[in-house]
Homo-oligomer: A and B are copies of this chain.
Amino acid sequence: VILRDPVHGLIPFDTEEDQIVVRLLGAAEVQRLRRIRQLGVTSLAFPGAEHSRFVHAIGTAHVMKRLIERLRRVQGDLPAWQRLTTEHAREALAAALLHDVGHGPLSHLFEDAIAGALPHEQWSTRIILDGDSQVSRMLAAEGAELAPRVAELVLGRHQLAYLAHAVSGTVDVDRCDYLLRDAHATGVPYGRYDLDWLLRSLRFAPLPDPDAGATLAVDGAKGVVSIEAFVLARLFMFQQVYFHKAARAAEWMIRAILSRAAALLSDGTSLADVPAAIAQAAAGRPVALGDYLELDDDVLWGAMHAWESAADPVLADLTRRLRARSLFKTLELYEEAESARSRALETARDIARQQGLDPNAYVGLDIASDTPFTDSDDPLAVVFPQGTTRKPGDVSFLLGRLRGETVTRARLIFAPELRDRIRSALGS
């Protein structure tokens, strides 16, 4: 199979080793990702951001394939037990493709909004291991050990530590693909780092002793720039896209809708078109895998559409606003102290109450934050010609200044009719 991809150009899966990807692409659980948009409601702010988690999964597997090719070219000095065998490669390819196979619809909203809902990583694990899934059967057909190893790898654990970091680390294959893909789809140019150069910069750090696990490194000052560019691409995408105020407001509204629906359901109120998975989670019952897999963006939008006619006025109002895209407004809070933010929230909640609106549903404090770079979690090193090894933050002017720093955007989110009073109360 050779696919055309808008981000990577030609994507060939044409070796025996990577046929595992081709087979898994046919699994219903993987195909389901076609129905979940990678960026959730962000397309309300960036109309081009309509790409699905399916095409991102393909891209991630492709980056893993390229990474494997690179690692094999530079693993000559590793002891045999640390090298990438064909088995490891297939585990890595499958893990790359399946890294988000358990993702719920509309970004992380489902697991955040409904108490008791499992995080999506656990759903991914279940899909990989549960004998009822097509994915697990395809993996089992390749050998009994594959599924458990892929499940571990998706959680960032593997006997080859460098492979685990490649699935979940500072410059993992997931990020490698989504930065380029989200930049391509949104039209925001800042996410375009140089993947070719990054891959070519990779090598293994010299082993401190023969029993140590191998760790990845980049090649001197030339290589560090590829990490700098990657880290900055990610930071820009966070600031421009992932933290975009309209998308955050829409996400907040959906979370409020789902919480409200779950509360109503657990109080015994009946609602139309409730997906089974939501009904079960709201009732505190375990969600069956099959029910979970029925959830996708369309199903959730369909339910919210139905709830526009709900008896509960808050649920009906929120869903109507969302569908008509009359989104809540935001007010950026520049104060960094938590107490100041809480005071601002309380002020806004008071205003909502005075206008007869439920503050839980119509006012919120949204804090988005990210630490663009730290070199304490990831052993990724910089290797110099004479074999010296340094931390990226010690070599790079930029990374040194960003190391451990956290970028935070705090915003009040509220119904538009509250805007003037909130603004004047907060003096902004």
Contacts and interface: CB of A to CB of B under 8 A. Distances in A.
Interface of A: 2-10, 12, 26, 28, 31, 34-35, 43, 46-48, 50-52, 54-55, 58, 184-190, 192, 194, 196-197, 200, 221, 225, 228-229, 232, 235-236, 239-240, 298, 301-302, 324-325, 332, 386, 388, 397-398, 401-402, 405, 407, 428
A7 B186 CA distance: 9
B52 A225 contact: no
Contacts of A7: 48, 187
Contacts of A187: 4-9
B48 A54 contact: no
B54 A229 contact: no
B200 A46 contact: no
How many chain copies does the complex carry? Answer: 4
Contact of A55 (B35, B47, B229, B240): B47
A26 B325 contact: yes
B5 A200 contact: no
Given A7-B187, A48-B51, A232-B398, 8 more contacts: A4-B188, A9-B187, A12-B200, A50-B51, A190-B194, A225-B239, A232-B232, A398-B402
A428 B51 contact: no
B332 A221 contact: yes
Given A10-B200, A47-B5, A405-B397, A236 B225 contact: yes
A324 B186 CA distance: 30
A28 B324 CA distance: 7
B26 A324 contact: yes
A243 B46 CA distance: 30
Nearest to A402: B401
B50 A55 contact: yes
B235 A398 contact: yes
Nearest to A232: B232
Nearest to A184: B6
Given A48-B55, A397-B407, A405-B401, A186 B4 contact: yes
A242 to B, nearest CB: 13
